[in-house]
Structure 1
Amino acid sequence: MGLQKGHRSLRSEIERHLKERGYTLSKLGELTGINPGHVSEILNSNPPRAITISQLDAMGAAFEQAPGWLYELYEEECFSEGKVSRPRIVPYLVRCAEIGRRDCIESVVSKLLENPKNVSILFSVAEQLFESGNLEKSVPFYQFVIETEKDSYAERFVLSQYRLFRALQGTDSEKTWEAVIRFDPYRKRLPENYQLDALLQLANVCYTLRRWEDVEKYADELRELAHIVYEDQLIKRKSKKSVEALHTERHLVVYYGQGYLLKGIALESQGKYEEAKRYVDAYADLTWFEIMDETGEAEVEKFRLWATANLYTLDMLTGNTDILPDYIRFLDDYPNEILPGLVTIVKSANEFDFSIDSVLEHFAASIAHFYEQQDAISTCHHMQFRYQLANYLFKKGKFTEGLEEILRCLVLSDTMMDYDSFKRCAALFWAHLSHASDQQKSTYQTVITKGAVKDEGIFTVAGSGFGIV
C-alpha cells in the first residue's frame, strides 16, 4: 500500500523510482534528455532546482509511468512563500487540461483565485489552449476569467467572451445560437482587428442558422468597419510613417468583400433577388483595393469567382433557365462549388417545373461524396440539397427515391440539431407515408425516437452561399 499524499513529495517519489530501477543520475539524464547536473540540482540542492512540467513528463516516461504522473504533487513547484511561479504554473495548467487532470486544475485554480490579479494567468492558459487548437479545453479557463474579471469593458474580459463564442460553435444549432446571444452585446467592445474577425464569424454562424436578418445586421457592420479600417490604413500609409501591421486572421480585403457577399446572400435567401445583384456587383471586381499583396490578390480572384457563381444563382432563381448549360460548365470547372450550385439548380427546378434528371446524372459521382464535407456550412448545404431533391422526386412521382432523400435530410438535420428542419422533414415523410416501405418506416422510426424534437418552425431553404468562409 502506497504512502499517503501527506508523506509524499515530488522529489521523494522520483528518488524512490530511481532506487527501484537502479538508475544513476547520469542514466536518468540520458533517458530524459535532461542535463545530469540539472538532475542533481533538482534532487540534491538546497534549495532544490525547480522542475519544469516537461521535465517531469520526461521522467515519467523514463520510469514507464502514465501521462500525468505525480501531477497532484507538482503544485508545490508552482507556489513558493505565497508567490506564484507563472513560468511553471501556466505550462502545468495547459498540460493538465490536455490530459484531463481536472482534479489538479480545480485545486490550483481555487488557490489562484484567492488573489483576483491571478486571473491573467488563467487567461494565458486559455489563450495557449485556444491557439493550439484545443478550443473545447480552453472553455473552462475563459469562463474563470469572465466570472472573475470585474470590468466588462476590459480587453481580457471581452476577448474571453469572443473566444468562448468561437469555442462553442459546432453542429448543435441551439447551442450555437445561445453562443451568439451570449457574445453579441460585447462585439463592439473588441479591438478593431478582433472585431473584424468576430463580425465575420457572427454572420457566418447566422448563415448556417438561416437567420437572414441577423446575417444582414452583421454583414452591414462588417462592411462599415472594414471600410473605416481600410481608409485609416490608407491614411497611415500615405503619411509615410511606420505603420503597425493589422493583425487579423484574414486579409483586410476578405472582410470588405465578405460584408457585401453575405449581405447579398441574405437578400437572395429572402427572395430579394434584384437587390442582391447590386451587392454581388460590389465584390465582383476588387482590383481597386490598394492595400494588396500576393495573398490579397488571391482573395480578390476568389471574390471574382464567387460573384460569377452567385450571378448564375440569381439568374436561375429568377427563372432564367437558359443559362443552365453555362452554369453546369462553370461547376465542372470549379468542383468545390458543386454542392451549393446543386442546391440552386434543384430549387429552381422545383420552382419553375423543369427536368434536371440529366444534371443529377452528370454530377452523380460528386453527389456520392457530399457526406465527406462535414464542416457546418457544407452540412447545411447538404441538408438543403437533400430536402429540395426529395421534393423534386416527389413531384415526378418517384416516391421511393424521394423518401430515401428525406430520410437522409432527416439524419442531417438531427446531426446539426436543427429542430425546425428536423420537424419539417418529419412532416414531409409523414405526408408520403403511404408510399414508404417497411424498411423506410423502420429507419424513420429509429431516427425520430433518437432524440426529442423541439419547437414548431418553418423550414426555410437557404441560398447557394458561394463564397461563405
Structure 2
Amino acid sequence: MKHTPTILAEFEEYLKQNDLTLAQFAEYSGVHQRTLSNWITQHRPVSVQQLDRITLAMGLPEGYFYELYIENYIIDLPPNWRRIEPLLYRCAELDKLDAIRRMVGHIMDNPLYSPRLFDIAEALFAQGRHAAALLLYENVAEVEKYQHSERLAICQYRIFTIQVGDDQSLNLRAATLFEAFVERLDETNQLDALKDLANVYRSLREWDRLDATAKKMRDKAEIQYSMRHQQKKREHNESVKKLSRPMFVYITYADLLCASVCEAQGDYEQALQYTYAYSDLDWVLETDEDTLYWIKLYQHWAEGNTYVYKLLSGDLSTLHNYVKYIMSSSDNTEKEMVANLINIIMAANQYQIDVDDILLRFETEIDSIAQQQSSTDMYTHQVVPEQTTRFKYELAKYYLNRGSYSHGFKYLLDVLSKSLAINKEDFFIRCIRLFEQFKEFSDLKAYVKYESLVNEGRTERLFYY
C-alpha cells in the first residue's frame, strides 16, 4: 500500500533537522504555539492562512503544501468551507489550476454546493482571475445543465466571455453555444449579452446572425426603455441593475450594427437610413452627463458614416469632406481610426482612385495600428483586430494594383500570417489568390515567406483551398 505523505510529517522533520522547539517556531512564524501543538497532538488541521505562515517560515515557495493540504484535509472528508473557500482563492492567486480542479471535483459530488461555488466564481471573475473562474463556472454549469436557472445562464455568459479570443473558429463555436442561453438571463443582462454576441458575429462577418441579434437587441431595449419611463412616472424609486451603457445606447447601437450589415451587402442606401435613425436622438429623455456624452458620440459617428456610405455609393465628392471630418476629430480612438482608414482605402480600390496623399497624411496613424494593445472590452478585443486585418488586406491590394510591390507584399504577408494565427480561413484564401495574381512581381524573400506560410496552413490542416 502506497504511503501518503503528510504536511505534519514534513513539519516535524523540519523542526528536528533545525533543532527548533514549537515555541521558537511559533515566535518566528507568527502561528500560535497552541495551534501548532493541537495540530501535532490532536491532528487538528491548521487554516490556509496559518499554513501560508508555516510555509514562509520554513523557507518554502508560496503554495508549496497546497496539494498535500488537499490530500490530507479535504479529499475523502466532508466538505469544510472554512478550509475550501480560502484555499480556492489562494490557488487562483497562484494559478494552481490543477489544485482547483481537484477540489472542485470533490465538492461537486454534492450539487447543493453549486450556489457557493458560483459565488466564488463570480468573485474571481470580478478580480480578473478568469482561468480559475472558468473552471468553477464550467463545473456549476455541468451540475445544473438540466435546469433552467438564471445561474446556469450567467455561467454560460461568463464562459462565453472568457473563451472568446483570437481563434475565430472557436469564437463562432462559443457564440453559438451561448446564444441558446440568452433568453434565460434577466432582462437587463440580456441587453449586454446580445451586445457582446453581436460584436463577435460582427468580427466573424456573420451578417445574418449579426442582423438578427441586433434587431433582437433593439426590440428588447425599446420595450425596456418604454417600461422604465412609464414606471418612473408612477414611482420615484427604481431598482434596475446598472447596464454597461445608458439604455438608449442599445437601441442606437442596434441601428449602427444593422447599417454595417447593409454596408457589407452593398446596400448603402439602406445603411444611410439606419444612420439617419441613430443620428436623430430627440426622443432620448435623459439629460445626465453620461447620456449627453453618448448622444454626442453617436451624432459624431453618424456624420462620418453618412460621408462613408455616400462615398462607397460612388459620390467621390464626399472624400474631401470625409478627410476633413477625420482630421477634425482630435479625440479619434484607435478603433475609430481603423474604421475611417479602411473606408478610404476600400473606396480607392472600388473606384480606382489615387489616395497616396491621404495615406501619407495618416502615415503615423497607419504605423501605430499594428501596435495593438489587448483589451477586455468585447468590441475592442474582437472587432478592431478584424478590421485591422481587413484594412491591411485592402492596403496590400491598393499598393499592388498601383505597382508599389514592396509595400503591397509586406502588408499581404502580414495578413496571411495573422490569418493563420487566428484561424481566419476567408482572409487566408483571399491572400493566396491576391498573391498568385501578383507573384511574378514578388522578390525571393517575399516568395519564400509566402510558401512557408501556405505550407504551414496545409501542415496544420487549418485551411482547405
Q: Which residue of 2 aligns with 1:265?
A: 260
Q: Which residue of 2 aligns with 1:395?
A: 401
Gaps of 5+ in 2: 374-380
Q: Which residue of 1 aligns with 2:310?
A: 315
Matches within 5 A, 1:146-295: 146-286=141-281, 288-291=283-286, 293-295=288-290
**CA 1:180 to 1:31, structure 2 compared with 1: closer, same or farther past 3 Å?**
farther
Q: Which residue of 2 aligns with 1:353?
A: 352
**CA 1:208 to 1:80, structure 2 compared with 1: closer, same or farther past 3 Å?**
closer
Gaps of 5+ in 1: 458-469
Question: Structure 2 CA distance, aligned partners of 1:330 and 1:55?
Answer: 62
Q: Which residue of 1 aligns with 2:324?
A: 329
Q: Which residue of 2 aligns with 1:425?
A: 431
User: Percent of aligned positions with the same letter in both sequences?
Assistant: 29
- Deviating more after overlay: 229-238 vs 99-108: 99-108
Contact 1:41 1:48 (C-alpha < 8 Å) held by counterparts? no
**CA 1:20 to 1:191, structure 2 compared with 1: closer, same or farther past 3 Å?**
farther
Q: Residue deviations 1:27-75, cap 9 Å, x none?
A: 767766x5x54x6435437878764434433432333212221112323
Q: SS at the partner of 1:382?
A: helix
The alignment status of 1:44 with 2:35, answered yes or no, reads no
Structure 1 residue 208 displacement after superposition: 0.4
Q: Which residue of 2 aligns with 1:73?
A: 68
**CA 1:52 to 1:223, structure 2 compared with 1: closer, same or farther past 3 Å?**
farther
Q: Which residue of 2 aligns with 1:6?
A: 4
Question: Structure 2 CA distance, aligned partners of 1:253 and 1:55?
Answer: 51
Letter of the structure 2 residue corresponding to residue 387 of structure 1: Y
Structure 1 residue 16 displacement after superposition: 4.7
Contact 1:379 1:412 (C-alpha < 8 Å) held by counterparts? no
Contact 2:48 2:86 (C-alpha < 8 Å) held by counterparts? yes
Contact 1:343 1:384 (C-alpha < 8 Å) held by counterparts? yes
Question: Structure 2 CA distance, aligned partners of 1:245 and 1:397?
Answer: 59
Q: Number of paired residues?
A: 450
Q: Which residue of 2 aligns with 1:462?
A: none
- Deviating more after overlay: 203-212 vs 389-398: 389-398
Contact 2:279 2:298 (C-alpha < 8 Å) held by counterparts? yes
Contact 1:253 1:299 (C-alpha < 8 Å) held by counterparts? no
Q: Which residue of 1 aligns with 2:387?
A: 381
The alignment status of 1:441 with 2:436, answered yes or no, reads no
Question: Structure 1 CA distance, aligned partners of 2:285 and 2:349?
Answer: 44
**CA 1:74 to 1:431, structure 2 compared with 1: closer, same or farther past 3 Å?**
same
Q: Residue deviations 1:75-119, cap 9 Å, x none?
A: 378659964232431332233244343443343233222212122
Q: SS at the partner of 1:223?
A: helix
Q: SS at the partner of 2:180?
A: helix
Letter of the structure 2 residue corresponding to residue 409 of structure 1: V
Structure 1 residue 343 displacement after superposition: 0.5
**CA 1:77 to 1:223, structure 2 compared with 1: closer, same or farther past 3 Å?**
farther
Contact 1:284 1:303 (C-alpha < 8 Å) held by counterparts? yes
Structure 1 residue 13 displacement after superposition: 4.1
Contact 2:258 2:274 (C-alpha < 8 Å) held by counterparts? yes
Q: Residue deviations 1:286-332, cap 9 Å, x none?
A: 36423453333322222222222222221221122222222222222
Q: Which residue of 1 aligns with 2:367?
A: 368
Question: Structure 2 CA distance, aligned partners of 1:257 and 1:29?
Answer: 64
Contact 1:68 1:96 (C-alpha < 8 Å) held by counterparts? yes
- Deviating more after overlay: 320-329 vs 182-191: 320-329
Question: Structure 2 CA distance, aligned partners of 1:120 and 1:426?
Answer: 51
Question: Structure 2 CA distance, aligned partners of 1:7 and 1:412?
Answer: 49
Structure 1 residue 178 displacement after superposition: 0.6
Contact 1:273 1:314 (C-alpha < 8 Å) held by counterparts? yes
Letter of the structure 2 residue corresponding to residue 223 of structure 1: R
| Root-mean-square deviation over aligned CA pairs | 2.8
